[in-house]
Amino acid sequence: METRTLAMRNLLKILGFFCLWIMVEAQMKIPPETVQQWASVFSVELQDFTTKYSGSLLLQKKLKDVESIIRIVELNGADLLRDYSEEIERMLGSKMKSVKMASQLHLHSNLLSR
């Protein structure tokens, strides 16, 4: 059974390398100008698509409406991450204490009931 699995893996490796070789050969035949043109068209289409479905234009309009009211503050990501990790550690620590206390109470009640 093990030799059959090994043979199957080797066959898959060979097929994978063969497919990679075919893809490289096909890519070598595509002129760079064609790839550049495709990438340019794709980037424009992608930007239009994301603008249409993300609602970014509406968000920009809303931001301009409330921009005079709100205050934007730059934050340090490392500080935020540290604060979040400390808060999570504190919450998990209190949860662990609660579970230990519940376990001890359960054991204590079992000892008293005997």
For residues 51 and 57, the answer to whether their CB atoms sit within 8 Å is yes
pLDDT per residue as tens digits for the range 78-103: 999 999 999 999 999 999 999 989 98
Name the E strands within the chain. none
* Domain co-membership, 57 together with 89: no
The whole-chain average pLDDT of the chain stands at: 84
DSSP string, 47-74: HHHHHHHH-HHHHHHHHHHHTTT-----
Highest mean pLDDT among 17-21, 82-86, 107-111: 82-86
* Domain co-membership, 25 together with 55: no
In the chain, how many H helices and how many E strands? 4, 0
Domain that holds residue 61: 31-72
Q: What is the pLDDT of residue 37?
A: 92
* Domain co-membership, 17 together with 45: no
Per the structure, the count of domains in the chain is 3
Q: What is the pLDDT of residue 26?
A: 65
* Domain co-membership, 68 together with 80: no
Highest mean pLDDT among 9-13, 17-21, 110-114: 9-13
Mean pLDDT of 103-107: 87
